Amino acid sequence: MSANPFLDPALVHGDLYCTDDRLAERTRALRQAKIAGRNAAQVVIDLLAQRTSPGAVMLDIGCGRGTTTLRIAAGLRPRRLIAVDASSALLDTVQTRLAQADEVGSTVCADFHHLPLPDAMADAAVAAFCLYHSTTPAAVVAEIARCLRPGGVAVLVTKSLDSYAELDQLVQAANLDPDAASRPSLYESFHSDNLVNIAATHLTVLDVLHEQHVFEFADATHLARYLATTPKYRIPPAGGPADLAAILRERLPVPPYPTRSTVSYALTARS
């Protein structure tokens, strides 16, 4: 088992994404805590809109629950939209969300190291918050580049190594995981500091943005909802988020509990 759960294939293809529930709850908890920072999916759309036109063929690689997929469909009106993920459960959610929004797109269940797509078939691609699941993210970038037509663009998105570091300190202070502050960042393989170098292995980097997002967990219950769904820590099993909240309430200072994350975007192109 890898020391980093985001790089452990057994977890990535098992507990982390075998259903929609865990990712959905983590996303909800973060969204409710957010007090500053642009919507990441909208930033992606704004970057793509500079370089694409309606009627393009677009890929959403590592699409997760389809938040960016929906924005692409509604905001850019592609002729063809393909959402790719290794989790069939998450792709079921994508299809449901597209149908509910009356948007059209197809899904492909695949490992992003080996995309089952033709060469030079896409005008644009997105890989948002997914490449840190690979020990060789440059190999994924190579696959994305292969699928782009010459002149096609891709937006790659990740986070900084120190994202949510304040939560490490809280978890350690509460003695839930004494090693929380020394555990590797979930984003260690693909992060804000190596984004450009990895992107440039197979694509031309046109623009880079780094934006700070600020979060504030309102109380112990809110924080517990997030901690119960993040795989970073080794928190002993409890009765659920309610029991975890009770421990946090007893051991931590009074809320709120702030934290920060840097979100980084690389707008790139195939030569």
The average pLDDT across 251-268 equals 98
Question: Which is higher by pLDDT, 4 or 238?
Answer: 4
Could you tell me whether strands 257-269 and 148-159 are parallel, antiparallel, or unpaired per DSSP bridges? antiparallel
Alpha-helical segments (H) within the chain: 9-12, 21-33, 40-49, 67-76, 88-100, 137-147, 165-173, 195-199, 220-227, 241-251
Residue 83 CA, chain-centre distance (Å), reads: 14
Judged by DSSP in three states, 125 sits in strand
Each residue's pLDDT tens digit, 105-150: 999 999 999 999 999 999 999 999 999 999 999 999 999 999 999 9
Read off the pLDDT of residues 29-80 as tens digits, 9 standing for 90 and up.
999 999 999 999 999 999 999 999 989 999 999 999 999 999 999 999 999 9
The answer to whether residue 238 scores a pLDDT higher than 90 is no
Average pLDDT of span 94-106: 96
| Cis peptide bond upstream of 256, omega within 30 | yes
The confidence band for 14, taking pLDDT boundaries of 50, 70 and 90, is confident
> For 28, phi and psi rounded to 5 degrees?
-60, -45
In order of 85, 113, 114, 203, 206, the CA distances from 110 in angstroms are: 6, 8, 7, 22, 28
CA-nearest of 247, 236, 161, 148 to 199 is 148
Helix, strand, coil distribution of the chain in percent, nearest 5: 40, 25, 40
pLDDT computed for residue 240 by the predictor: 84
Model confidence at 2, pLDDT cuts 50, 70, 90, reads: low
Measured from the Cβ of residue 179, the count of other Cβ atoms closer than 10 Å reads 11
pLDDT of residue 1: 43
Domains of the chain plus CATH, in order, are 5-163+185-215+256-269 (3.40.50.150)
User: Could you report the per-residue pLDDT of 170-224, keeping only the tens digit for each?
Assistant: 999 999 999 999 999 999 999 999 999 999 999 999 999 999 999 999 999 999 9
Whether residue 239 is predicted with pLDDT greater than 80 in this model: the reply is no
Q: Whole-model pTM?
A: 0.96
